[in-house]
């Protein structure tokens, strides 16, 4: 069954700002889909066409243009060959994966337990730092050694906190309410995101589409000086293409804080889970599913950035990145960047992939990044602060 899927356009976004400023959730708008997929989670193959521009030309056939009847024996033509992968990309077509897992879906009670265990809150306090406000966001453990996946617009503050030229303290919190437990360092953030957004770090209403908006943090120590856990509860990321498909049920887990006072966001912040379905599939122009639309749910507010989007098999398939404008969450459209996009973009930006980044000595990889790459990125952010 063919359906039309939207292409992402550059948009403005909104950040909820209270006494405690909350992270960017950028609005994305696109032409309305002209058709919907009525399928559910099944093993049937469904073909999806990613729409770029609607057709604007028509053909009118007059009597003079009608060709004479073709003799029957000449009218039969062989079936065209199946499209190649390159042709599918050119047509923006994608298909659901058949039988995605060798086991049945879990109950959403089980999925929620898994998601909550891996969910973290990321809090940065400025301690009087000029031109910066305290921030709160979400993240999720994706490796039992303490690797957190979140957004680049969240990780930029962790980058700055490592600089002696700022008075910024960032901590990793967990629980209900969230309790400060660990210090973390940046393992990887796409330099291209910092290069494109550093100038807007002090803006109350940052903008973006979610492109390149991902980062990895690594837990490096406990705040109380005790040894780190031998393992951290983590969700398994699924980086396969089209693993998140239209109408698939999803669970989101995050620490939304937009409608809380600054004090409550800092001292009485609780995780929130929500059930939803994939409403739209969106692309940055790759011909692949880069962003999924999740509708107006409780997580559609500041503070949810970096939160988990988990499918019926308890696999992480996306992280919350943007939301559209709206006075209430019901009026907004929450969107998540897919793990398949993140994996692809890591390959484009670094020449490796997510699995490569998580392999081997991650402490050494984090050290290499902070020694060789981070200083230039921090300088860009400091320049952005100084400009205001």
pLDDT reported for residue 5: 55
Confidence of residue 10 (pLDDT cuts 50, 70, 90): very low
pLDDT, mean of residues 18-42:
33
Confidence of residue 83 (pLDDT cuts 50, 70, 90): low
Q: What is the SS3 assignment for 111? A: helix
What percentage of the chain reaches a pLDDT higher than 90?
60
Domain boundaries, the chain: 4-24+103-386
pTM of the entire structure? 0.80
Residue 16 CB contacts under 8 Å (≥ 6 apart), including other chains: 22, 25, 257, 258, 259, 301, 302, 303
pLDDT reported for residue 387: 86
| Among 56-60, 183-187, 276-280, the least confident range | 56-60
pLDDT reported for residue 312: 98
What are 309-331's pLDDT values in tens digits? 999 999 999 999 998 888 888 88
pLDDT reported for residue 266: 80
Mean pLDDT for the chain overall: 81
pLDDT reported for residue 78: 52
**Helix or strand (DSSP H, E) at 349:** helix 339-350
Q: What is the SS3 assignment for 236? A: strand
In this structure, what token pair is assigned to residue 100? Answer: 């995605």
pLDDT, mean of residues 291-304:
92
Report the distance separating Cα 258 and Cα 94, nearest Å. 36
Residue 205 CB contacts under 8 Å (≥ 6 apart), including other chains: 12, 13, 14, 15
| Among 98-102, 128-132, 194-198, 277-281, the least confident range | 128-132
Of 2.40.10.120, 3.30.70.260, 2.40.160.60, 3.30.950.10, which CATH number belongs to 4-24+103-386?
A: 2.40.10.120
Among candidates 48, 28, 44, which has minimal Cα distance to 36?
48
Count the alpha carbons within 13 Å of 173 in the hemisphere toward its beta carbon. 27
State how far Cα 101 lies from the chain centre.
22
Report the distance separating Cα 194 and Cα 201, nearest Å. 9
What are 348-367's pLDDT values in tens digits? 999 999 999 999 999 999 99
pLDDT reported for residue 141: 99
| Among 54-58, 182-186, 313-317, the least confident range | 54-58
Q: What angle do helix axes 374-386 and 152-161 make, rounded to 10 degrees? A: 90
pLDDT reported for residue 37: 35
Q: How many CB atoms lie within 10 A of CB 104?
A: 7
Beta bridge partners of 26: 13
Burial status of residue 262 (CB atoms within 10 A of its CB: 0-12, 13-18, 19 or more): middle
In this structure, what token pair is assigned to residue 236? Answer: 């398994």
Whether the CB-CB separation of 114 and 313 falls below 8 Å is answered with no
In this structure, what token pair is assigned to residue 313? Answer: 């098999």
Q: How many CB atoms lie within 10 A of CB 381?
A: 22
pLDDT reported for residue 154: 96
pLDDT, mean of residues 102-121:
98
DSSP 284-346: SSSSS--EEEEES-TT-STT-TT-EEE-TTSEEEEEEEEE---SSGGGS-EEEEEHHHHHHHH
In this structure, what token pair is assigned to residue 145? Answer: 């050694």
Among candidates 33, 32, 43, which has minimal Cα distance to 2?
33
Report the distance separating Cα 354 and Cα 342, nearest Å. 8
Cα torsion 290, 258, 170, 158: sign:
positive
| Among 22-31, 138-147, 376-385, the least confident range | 22-31
């Amino acid at each position: 069954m063919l359906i039309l899927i939207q292409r992402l356009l550059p948009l403005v976004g909104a950040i909820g700002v209270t006494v405690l400023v909350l992270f960017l959730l950028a609005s994305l708008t696109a032409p309305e889909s002209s058709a919907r997929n009525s399928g559910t989670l099944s093993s049937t193959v469904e073909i999806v066409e990613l729409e770029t521009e609607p057709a604007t030309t028509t053909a009118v056939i007059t009597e003079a243009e009608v060709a004479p009847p073709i003799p029957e024996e000449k009218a039969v033509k062989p079936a065209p060959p199946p499209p190649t992968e390159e042709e599918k990309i050119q047509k923006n077509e994608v298909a659901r994966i058949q039988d995605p897992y060798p086991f049945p879906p879990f109950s959403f009670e089980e999925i929620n337990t898994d998601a909550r265990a891996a969910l973290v809150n990321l809090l940065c306090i400025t301690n009087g730092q000029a031109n910066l406000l305290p921030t709160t966001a979400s993240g999720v453990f994706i490796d039992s050694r303490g690797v957190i996946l979140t957004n680049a617009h969240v990780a930029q503050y962790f980058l700055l906190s490592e600089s002696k030229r700022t008075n910024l303290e960032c901590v990793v919190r967990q629980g209900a309410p969230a309790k400060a437990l660990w210090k973390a360092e940046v393992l990887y953030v796409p330099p291209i995101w910092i290069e494109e957004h550093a100038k807007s770090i002090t803006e109350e209403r940052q903008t973006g589409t979610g492109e390149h908006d991902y980062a990895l943090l690594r837990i490096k120590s406990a705040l109380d000086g005790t040894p780190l856990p031998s393992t951290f509860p983590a969700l398994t990321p699924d980086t396969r293409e089209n693993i998140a498909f239209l109408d698939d049920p999803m669970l989101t887990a995050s620490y939304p804080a937009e409608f809380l006072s600054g004090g409550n966001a800092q001292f009485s912040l609780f995780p929130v889970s929500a059930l939803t379905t994939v409403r739209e599939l969106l692309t940055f122009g790759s011909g692949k599913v880069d962003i999924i639309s999740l509708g107006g749910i409780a997580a559609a507010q500041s503070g949810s950035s970096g939160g988990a989007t988990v499918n019926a098999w308890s696999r992480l398939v996306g992280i919350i990145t943007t939301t559209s404008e709206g006075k209430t969450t019901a009026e907004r459209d929450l969107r998540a960047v897919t793990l398949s996009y993140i994996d692809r973009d890591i390959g484009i930006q670094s020449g490796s992939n997510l699995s490569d980044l998580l392999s081997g000595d991650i402490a050494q990889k984090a050290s290499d990044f902070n020694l060789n790459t981070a200083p230039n990125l921090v300088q860009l952010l400091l320049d952005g602060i100084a400009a205001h």
